[in-house]
Amino acid sequence: MHVPQGFGVVTPYIFVDDADRYVAFLVSALGGIEVGRSTMPDGRIANCQVRFGSTTVMVSEASEQFPASKAAFYLYVENADAAMARAVTGGAEAIMDVADMPYDDRQGGVRDPAGNIWWISQRLTDRPYF
């Protein structure tokens, strides 16, 4: 089986209204890096890849056939407090303040402009979860 570099066997694929604006949010507020984009004849995003470290997320403009959908994502970062502040400044709504969790992550949560939840987490140990 061949899986492209930067993609997982399961890769999140998000359909949103105003995909251009959403990709800009992923880059500016959550620190993603846009690595590829294809557009429809009318200029809207057909598929855009945004990389977060070693993981790629795909984004497309929602349509009648593929309506906007909501999901939740777990994003590991170097500094949860700084990443939460950046996300909120970039347009996300804070839904859970950053705190140390009993499973050894420092974590907060935001809801992005498309209604998706992002758990922003900093691993505090190199131990496995279980």
Residues 16 and 36 in one domain: yes
Tell me which residue has tokens 């846009």. 34
Q: Which two three-digit tokens encode residue 113? A: 């402009």
Across the chain, what does the average pLDDT equal?
95
Residues 62 and 74 in one domain: no
The pTM (predicted TM-score) of the whole model is 0.93
How far is residue 29's CA from residue 95's CA, in Å, rounded to a whole number?
Answer: 15
- Which band of pLDDT confidence, cut at 50, 70 and 90, is reported for residue 115? very high
Pairing type for strands 93-100 and 45-52 reads unpaired
Phi-psi domain of 6 (left: phi exceeds 0; alpha: psi -120 through 50; beta: other):
left
Residues 21 and 59 in one domain: yes
The range of the structural domain enclosing residue 108 comes to: 70-130
- Identify the CATH number of the domain in which residue 40 sits: 3.30.720.120
Check pLDDT > 80 for residue 12.
Answer: yes
Q: Which two three-digit tokens encode residue 16? A: 């949103």
Residues 80 and 109 in one domain: yes
What is the tens place of the pLDDT at every residue in 94-112?
A: 999 999 999 999 999 999 9
Task: Kindly give the interhelix angle for 19-30 and 80-89, rounded to the nearest 10 degrees.
Answer: 140
Kindly give, in sequence order, each residue whose CB lies less than 8 Å from that of residue 101, ignoring residues fewer than 6 positions away. 107
Last residue of a domain, one of 69, 85, 105: 69
Residues 59 and 112 in one domain: no
